[in-house]
């Protein structure tokens, strides 16, 4: 065989191989689109695919999808029969009917809205100049009226764009950008948002997700009320495992907000005397957020902590920290409950909130889920505020509580919910507050007559201590409350016992 013939055969083989790879990549991408949009409406009653088009070519494709978000429109009802004019004695009933109609209108759900997404897909193995099964460029498709409204915020920039690179394994990486936005009106105020950027990495099985999100900041001001809000840079990253479903995603999330400032020099409402009461400026700085969730032995646990420093008016906050958690949540039971709730239109506020049909739908769902909710009690579920701490000038105030069920048996589950809570429910709460802070609060409140004068605070605390409601611990006032086995204790003593609130 001649050299030219060999080269020709080789070129043909490469062409066939490339064409086969492209056809395979195109088939895989189309299949994944079909699966994703078939599954989407099954996840929640609030999202529906109303129109979809997939125009597939050899080297690429264009997918256009219109989603309707919100409550599904109710079926058109038959026109009501003409109603005769009420007699004089029936006018009150007619007025009542009109009032009921007005109440139903007030509780009617918001109308659903639609968004259209267009994906321009380049098939691999050389997709968009890179080695990949495909690359996808996504954007919003807006009608003329919506585009005009959007331009008031974003100018000529595209409000949302995303670029996705799909690997041959099916894993993908998406880089998304939300354009900066600005709206200013003379005499009203302005809103300036510096946009957002995010990167998301997802494995082929769609069970592992890593993402990084950055928002440079925003500024808001309202000229008439004087309210202003400024938010500094926000950065969040997460590494999540959704093998058990998105509702039960586990892993760790970390975030940091540089600053958050809120000011209302004219107040937010009107005082009883008809004058606006100014609020002190609140400034929070160096805010760190840590969240974590796990599943072990079929039990789900999650927790989060928020901490930082700041300033309220002229008072400097050296440290604040808030931490909450939930433990021993039966994962399978929780997923069943969450899925049922998400898939119920009534549970998501659809239908007329005050209507009989809506109330009956929610009651039916609650009755259906009641046995599953009670069954979860056997695993001793617990949730609470683990810590809420504020430290100022070396003085610290702290509050915490936990609530849950423990020791629940199959026999207990036969009892009504209230009886179950009284027998197996557990609640514990602790509080610590510096005496100086109580005096300062009294001094501030006394000006408006809302609290006793500061000189009475010490006497009131002493009375509370004599009755067993509080304790003195150095310069602090403390209190403990515990409910378990159907009995209530205050500071370690049963309620009603000497020195325990008798």
Query: In tens digits, what is the pLDDT along the chain, a chain of 502 residues?
Result: 554 443 333 333 333 333 444 544 556 677 777 887 888 777 888 888 889 998 887 778 899 989 888 887 765 544 555 555 555 555 545 444 554 444 444 455 667 888 899 989 888 787 767 788 888 899 989 888 888 888 888 998 999 999 999 888 889 999 999 999 998 888 889 999 999 999 999 998 889 999 999 999 999 999 988 999 999 999 999 999 999 988 899 999 999 999 999 999 887 765 444 456 778 899 999 999 999 999 999 999 999 999 999 999 988 999 999 999 999 999 999 999 888 888 887 777 776 655 677 778 788 888 888 888 888 999 999 999 999 999 999 899 999 999 999 999 999 888 888 898 999 999 999 999 999 888 887 777 666 666 677 778 888 888 888 888 999 999 999 999 999 988 999 999 887 655 555 5
Distance separating alpha carbons of residues 346 and 466, to the nearest angstrom: 51
Cα Rg of the chain, angstroms:
31
Tell me how far CA of residue 124 lies from CA of 57, 264, 389, in angstroms: 12, 56, 55
pLDDT of residue 319: 96
Sign of the Cα pseudo-torsion (201, 203, 207, 208, in order): negative
Q: Record the tokens describing residue 232, joined without a space.
A: 């500094």
Q: What does the buried/exposed string (b/e) look like for 308-337 if buried means 16 or more CB atoms within 10 Å of the residue's CB?
A: bebeeeeeebeebbbbbbbbbbbbbbbbbb
pLDDT of residue 369: 83
- What torsion do the CA atoms of 16, 17, 19, 20 make, to the nearest 10 degrees? 110
Check: CB of residue 287 under 8 Å from CB of residue 293.
no
Helices in 64-120 by DSSP H: which ranges? 91-106
Check: CB of residue 477 under 8 Å from CB of residue 483.
no
How buried is residue 136: exposed, middle or buried, by Cβ count under 10 Å (0-12/13-18/19+)?
A: buried
Tokens 């009501």 correspond to: 80
Nearest to 238 by CA among 213, 261, 216, 259: 213
pLDDT of residue 5: 41
Q: Record the tokens describing residue 253, joined without a space.
A: 């999330």
Cβ atoms within 10 Å, residue 466: 10
Q: What is the DSSP letter of 352?
A: -
Q: How much is the pTM?
A: 0.81
Check: CB of residue 36 under 8 Å from CB of residue 139.
no
Check: CB of residue 191 under 8 Å from CB of residue 183.
yes
pLDDT of residue 300: 97
Distance separating alpha carbons of residues 322 and 134, to the nearest angstrom: 44
Distance, first Cα to last Cα, the chain: 109
Three-class secondary structure of residue 306 per DSSP = strand
Q: What is the DSSP letter of 270?
A: B
Check: CB of residue 164 under 8 Å from CB of residue 138.
yes
Q: What does the buried/exposed string (b/e) look like for 46-80 if buried means 16 or more CB atoms within 10 Å of the residue's CB?
A: bebeeeeebeeeeebbebebebbebbeeeeeeeee
pLDDT of residue 22: 53
Nearest to 51 by CA among 144, 136, 112, 114: 114
- What torsion do the CA atoms of 459, 461, 465, 469 make, to the nearest 10 degrees? 140
Tell me the sheet residues that pair with 292. 252, 303
């Amino acid at each position: 065989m001649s050299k030219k013939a060999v080269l020709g055969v080789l070129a043909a083989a490469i062409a066939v191989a490339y064409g086969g790879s492209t056809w395979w990549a195109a088939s895989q991408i189309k299949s994944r689109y079909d699966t994703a949009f078939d599954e989407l409406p099954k996840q929640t009653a609030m999202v529906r695919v109303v129109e979809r088009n997939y125009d597939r070519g050899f080297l690429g494709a264009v997918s256009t999808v219109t989603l309707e978000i919100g409550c599904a429109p109710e079926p058109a009802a038959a026109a009501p029969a003409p109603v005769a004019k009420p007699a004089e004695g029936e006018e009150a009933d007619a007025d009542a009917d009109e009032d009921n109609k007005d109440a139903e209108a007030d509780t009617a759900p918001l109308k659903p809205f639609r968004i259209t997404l267009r994906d321009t897909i380049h098939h691999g193995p050389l997709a968009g100049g890179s080695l990949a099964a495909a690359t996808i460029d996504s954007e919003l498709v807006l009608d003329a009226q919506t585009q005009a409204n959007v331009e008031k915020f974003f100018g000529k920039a595209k409000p949302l764009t995303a670029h996705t690179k799909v690997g041959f394994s099916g894993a993908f990486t998406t880089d998304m950008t939300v354009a900066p936005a600005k709206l200013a009106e003379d005499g009203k105020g302005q809103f300036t948002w510096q946009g957002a950027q995010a990167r998301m990495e997802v494995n082929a099985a769609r069970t592992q997700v890593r993402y990084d999100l950055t928002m440079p900041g925003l500024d808001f001001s309202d000229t008439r009320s004087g309210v202003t809000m400024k938010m500094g840079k926000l950065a969040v990253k997460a590494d999540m495992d959704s093998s058990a479903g998105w509702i039960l995603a586990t892993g760790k999330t970390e975030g940091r907000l540089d600053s958050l400032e809120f000011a209302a020099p004219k107040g937010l409402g009107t005082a009883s005397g008809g004058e606006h009461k100014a609020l002190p400026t609140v400034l929070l700085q160096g805010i760190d957020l840590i969240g974590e969730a796990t599943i072990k032995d079929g039990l789900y646990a999650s927790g989060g902590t928020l901490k930082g420093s700041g300033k309220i008016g002229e008072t400097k906050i050296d440290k604040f920290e808030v931490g909450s958690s939930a433990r021993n949540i039966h994962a399978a039971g929780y997923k069943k409950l969450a899925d049922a709730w998400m898939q119920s239109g009534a549970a998501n506020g659809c239908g007329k909130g005050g209507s009989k049909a809506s109330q009956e739908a929610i009651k039916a769902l609650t009755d259906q889920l009641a046995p599953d909710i009670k069954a979860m009690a056997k695993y001793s579920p617990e949730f609470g505020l683990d810590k809420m701490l504020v430290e100022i000038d070396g003085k610290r105030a702290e509050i915490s509580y936990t609530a849950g069920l423990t020791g629940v048996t199959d026999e207990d589950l036969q009892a009504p919910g209230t009886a179950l809570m009284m027998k197996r429910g557990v609640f514990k709460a602790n509080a610590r507050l510096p005496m100086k802070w109580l005096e300062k609060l009294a001094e501030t409140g006394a000006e408006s007559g809302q609290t006793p004068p500061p000189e009475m605070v010490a006497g009131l605390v002493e009375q509370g201590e004599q009755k067993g409601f509080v304790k003195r611990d150095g310069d602090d006032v403390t209190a403990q409350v515990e409910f378990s086995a159907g009995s209530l204790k205050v500071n370690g003593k049963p309620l009603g016992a000497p020195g325990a609130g008798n």
